Amino acid sequence: MDQDNKVTINKHIVIITPGFPADENDFLCIPPLQEFLKGLKSLFPFLMITVIALHYPYQYKKYSWNGLQIVSMAGKNKKLKKPLLWYKTINAVKKINESNPVNVIHSLWLGECAMIGNILSKKFNSKHVCTLMGQDVKSSNKYLKPLKNKNITIVALSKNQADQFFNITKNSADEIVEWGIDDITVSSSERDVDLLAVGSLIPLKNYSLLINLVEKVKQKYPDINCKLAGAGPEELSLKQLAKENGVEKNIEFKGILSRSEIFKLMQRSKIFIHPSKFEGSGYVFAEALANGLSIVSFNVGYAQPHPKWFIANNEDDFFNITLNLLASKLDNSPVNLFPISETINRYASLYELN
Residues 306 and 233 in one domain: yes
Q: Report if residue 269 sits inside a domain.
A: yes
Q: How far apart are CA 201 and CA 208, in angstroms?
A: 10
Residues 346 and 317 in one domain: no
Q: How many domains does the chain have?
A: 2
pLDDT of residue 3: 44
Specify whether the CB–CB gap between 96 and 125 falls below 8 A: no
Beta strands 193-198 and 61-65, pairing class: unpaired
Residues 320 and 344 in one domain: no
pLDDT of residue 6: 47
Q: Report if residue 334 sits inside a domain.
A: no
Residues 25 and 152 in one domain: yes
Residues 345 and 300 in one domain: no
pLDDT of residue 7: 43
Q: Report if residue 333 sits inside a domain.
A: no
Q: State which amino acid sits at residue 119.
A: I
Q: How confident is the model over 103-155, as pLDDT tens digits?
A: 999 999 999 999 999 999 999 999 999 999 988 988 889 998 888 768 999 99
pLDDT of residue 181: 95
Q: Which domain holds residue 250?
A: 193-326
Report yes or no on whether pTM surpasses 0.85: yes
CATH number at residue 94: 3.40.50.2000
Residues 171 and 299 in one domain: no
From residue 114, give the alpha-carbon distance in Å to each of 23, 103, 120, 143: 24, 16, 10, 9
SS3 72: strand
Q: How far apart are CA 40 and CA 309, in angstroms?
A: 29
237 φ, ψ (degrees, to nearest 5): -70, -35
Give the DSSP letter of residue 136: T
Per cent of the chain over pLDDT 70 is: 97
Q: How far apart are CA 256 and CA 104, in angstroms?
A: 35
Residues 211 and 151 in one domain: no
> According to DSSP H, which parts of the chain are helical?
3-8, 31-43, 82-99, 112-124, 144-147, 159-169, 207-218, 235-244, 259-266, 283-290, 315-326, 340-350
pLDDT for 225 beyond 50 = yes
Residues 171 and 233 in one domain: no
Q: Report if residue 202 sits inside a domain.
A: yes
Residues 294 and 345 in one domain: no
Q: Kindly list the strands in the beta sheet with 251-255, ordered across the sheet, starting from the edge strand earlier in the chain.
A: 251-255, 226-229, 193-198, 269-274, 294-297, 309-311
The overall average pLDDT reported for the chain is 94
pLDDT for 187 beyond 90 = no
Q: How confident is the model over 57-108, as pLDDT tens digits?
A: 999 999 999 999 999 999 999 999 999 999 999 999 999 999 999 999 999 9
Residue 146, C-beta contacts closer than 8 angstroms, at least 6 positions apart: 115
Residues 167 and 28 in one domain: yes
Q: Report if residue 185 sits inside a domain.
A: no
Residues 20 and 86 in one domain: yes
